[in-house]
Amino acid sequence: MTHAQSHHGEPHQTEDLAALLERLLDQVPDRTQKELATEAGISYPTLNAWMNRTRGTSRIDHDKLRDLVAVFRRWGVEVTPAEMFTAAGRPVPGPTDQEREERLLRVYRQLPEPKQRDLVRLAEVMLRDAEAVARVQRAS
C-alpha cells in the first residue's frame, strides 16, 4: 500500500514491497512478474504472493532483495537497494559478518572442486598480504 506518492522523481515514502514492485514493473510494460521472478531466482508463486500481500516480507533473504534490484537495473529501471529493503520493511544492511560468510560459503559450495581450491589459495594470499600491511602499519 502506498501512503505517499512521489512527485517527479522524489522518493516514495511508506511504499510497501507490493506497491514498489508494481510501480517498477509498470515502468517496463514489456516485462512480466514471471520474468522478474525467473531472472531474480525467486519462485513465481512466492513473488506473486508478495505482490498480492498474501505472504509476509520480513524474512526475505537479503540477497533476493538485491537480486530484484539488479534485475530492474538491467531492465533500465532506477531503483536502489535502500528502496527495496525499506519497502520490504527490512533495515537497510551493510552486509554483516555472518551474511558475508554465508554468501561466501554459498558461492564456494557452487564452485567445482578445482575452483574451490583456487579460492582457498587466493584467500590465503589475501590473508598474508593483510597481515603484512598490518605489520608495516604497526611498525610506523
What secondary structure does DSSP assign to 40-96, as a single string?
Answer: HT--HHHHHHHHTT-S-STT--HHHHHHHHHHHHHTT----HHHHHHHTT---PPPP
Site of grid cell 522518493: 11
- pLDDT value for 92: 77
pTM, entire model: 0.60
Q: Give the pLDDT band (50/70/90) at residue 83.
A: very high
pLDDT in tens, 1-26: 444 344 444 444 579 999 999 999 99
pLDDT in tens, 28-50: 999 999 999 999 999 999 999 99
Site of grid cell 511508506: 14
Q: Which CATH class is domain 17-87?
A: mainly alpha
Q: How far apart are CA 80 and CA 107, in angstroms?
A: 24
In angstroms, the Cα distances linking 29 to 20, 22, 38 are: 15, 11, 17
Site of grid cell 610506523: 140
State the Cα angle at 113 between 100 and 126, rounded to 5°: 45
State the Cα angle at 95 between 91 and 97, rounded to 5°: 120
What ranges do the domains of the chain cover? 17-87, 97-139
